[in-house]
Amino acid sequence: MRKLIVVTGGAGFIGSALVWKLNQLGEENILIVDSLRESEKWKNISGLSFRDYLEKDDFLSRLTAGSWSGEIAAIFHLGACSSTTEKDIRYLIKNNYEYTKTLAAHCAAGGVRFIYASSAATYGDGRQGYRDDEDEIDRLRPLNGYGFSKQLFDLWARREGLLNRIAGLKYFNVFGPNEYHKGDMRSMICKGFEQIQATGRLRLFKSEKPEYGDGEQERDFVYVKDAVTMTAYFYQHPDKNGLFNIGTGRAHTWNTLAGAIFAALEKPVKIDYIPLPDHLRGKYQYHTQAETGRLRGAGCAAPFTPLKEAVRDYVQNYLIPGAYLENIKSE
């Protein structure tokens, strides 16, 4: 039997898609770790192939007690509080930073492959650029507590000399199936689909910067199917270590994204521009665009799905009535 692969956050958005991808690669000896509570995330893993499920606190206590000694090939650590509006910094430190440190230290001591989710939120407003160069990360200034918690671990891993043995993946704006449970953190494709179906219209934020028109703020949008292909690459190539952007290297405006959603639904474009909420002022990113030189330099040559094509696949094959809660496993 192959050694065990652990996926924390494995019932979540990117995590469940990663389990789907690992299944495609013939991997089924998988331990999914998450915190289900009263969420609907369990639907994301129903029908996927895996060995077992554990709650995150049970997993950590058993891991540090010596369970699975010598049995684990890799830990994909995707579990975190990913809310960019979370204000309880103490919770973020404990959940996103301290938990990750414990896992990383355990993997380093036992020779277990460790691949973890960092975030493009560490880049803040982008004035320091979007280079995934660990020598420059101390210059970054995240705009929210979530980005700060991810930045803390990146800095700790560099300080402890671990970045030459582990892979940290800075995901940009990932969208796709299995995100329905994320509430306000769902992508605009998911939320916009609901708005258009209900009203025929879609809401976007007005710009508060003169250099950007309304809806002309830009993001690097990444389809989850592409994101997990690249995540799995770092399991298949354990010699590729350090920080890597998981982004397309192209920025698209919210207006372009909105147009792709309307096109997928075969409806006319109707957009309402609304004021930026108070809680996002000073914390809103107007432009993100991954630099992908290190990713490609590491040999990861998988192509990214063009935005319009990815949105069409997501909308027509997953978000249409009758398919909204269908899992990515259906392929």
Average pLDDT over residues 285-309: 95
Average pLDDT over residues 85-106: 94
Q: How far is CA 304 from CA 54, 77, 88, 307, in A?
A: 33, 23, 35, 9
Q: What confidence score (pLDDT) does residue 107 get?
A: 96
Q: What number of other Cβ atoms are within 10 A of residue 185's Cβ?
A: 17
98 secondary structure, DSSP code: I
Q: Is residue 135 part of a domain?
A: yes
What are φ and ψ of residue 277, in 5° steps? -60, 150
* Catalytic status, residue 146: yes
CA 85 – CA 67 distance, rounded (Å): 36
CA 113 – CA 192 distance, rounded (Å): 38
Say yes or no to pLDDT of 169 above 70: yes
Q: Is residue 57 part of a domain?
A: yes
Q: What confidence score (pLDDT) does residue 183 get?
A: 83
CA 154 – CA 96 distance, rounded (Å): 11
Q: How many structural domains is the chain composed of? A: 1
Pick the catalytic residue: 182, 267, 283, 308? 182
Say yes or no to pLDDT of 203 above 80: yes
Q: What confidence score (pLDDT) does residue 83 get?
A: 83
pLDDT band at 82 (very low <50, low <70, confident <90, very high): confident
Kindly report the CATH number assigned to the domain that includes residue 83.
3.40.50.720
Q: Is residue 78 part of a domain?
A: yes
Q: What confidence score (pLDDT) does residue 179 get?
A: 92
For all residues of the chain together, what is the average pLDDT? 93
Q: Which two tokens stand for residue 198?
A: 């209900």
Q: What is the secondary structure of 234-248 as a DSSP string?
A: HHH-TT--EEEEES-
Q: What confidence score (pLDDT) does residue 322 get?
A: 53
CA 45 – CA 230 distance, rounded (Å): 20
Say yes or no to pLDDT of 298 above 90: yes
Whether 147 and 119 have beta carbons less than 8 Å apart is answered as yes
CA 126 – CA 279 distance, rounded (Å): 19
What are φ and ψ of residue 278, in 5° steps? -55, -40
Percent of the chain residues topping a pLDDT of 90 = 85
Q: Is residue 199 part of a domain?
A: no
Say yes or no to pLDDT of 284 above 90: no
236 dihedral zone (left: phi>0; alpha: psi -120 to 50; beta): alpha
CA 184 – CA 71 distance, rounded (Å): 38
Q: Which domain holds residue 233?
A: 4-175+221-250+286-305
* Catalytic status, residue 182: yes
Q: Is residue 181 part of a domain?
A: no
What are φ and ψ of residue 5, in 5° steps? -110, 130
Q: What confidence score (pLDDT) does residue 194 get?
A: 94
Q: Regarding predicted confidence, which is higher, 34 or 184?
A: 34
Average pLDDT over residues 36-50: 90
CA 177 to chain centre: 12
Q: Helix %, strand %, coil % for the chain, to 5? A: 40, 15, 40
Q: Is residue 29 part of a domain?
A: yes
Q: What is the pLDDT of residues 223-252, one digit of tens each?
A: 999 999 999 999 999 999 999 999 999 999
Average pLDDT over residues 162-174: 97
The enclosing H or E element of 229 equals helix 224-236
Say yes or no to pLDDT of 38 above 60: yes
Q: Which two tokens stand for residue 114?
A: 């460790």
What are φ and ψ of residue 117, in 5° steps? -90, 115
Length in residues, the chain: 331
Percent of the chain residues topping a pLDDT of 70 = 96
pLDDT band at 330 (very low <50, low <70, confident <90, very high): very low
Say yes or no to pLDDT of 71 above 80: yes
pLDDT band at 326 (very low <50, low <70, confident <90, very high): very low
Q: What is the pTM of this model?
A: 0.93
Pick the catalytic residue: 146, 171, 180, 314? 146
Radius of gyration of the CA atoms of the chain, in A: 19
Q: Is residue 327 part of a domain?
A: no
Whether 312 and 260 have beta carbons less than 8 Å apart is answered as yes
Average pLDDT over residues 305-316: 97
Q: Is residue 278 part of a domain?
A: no
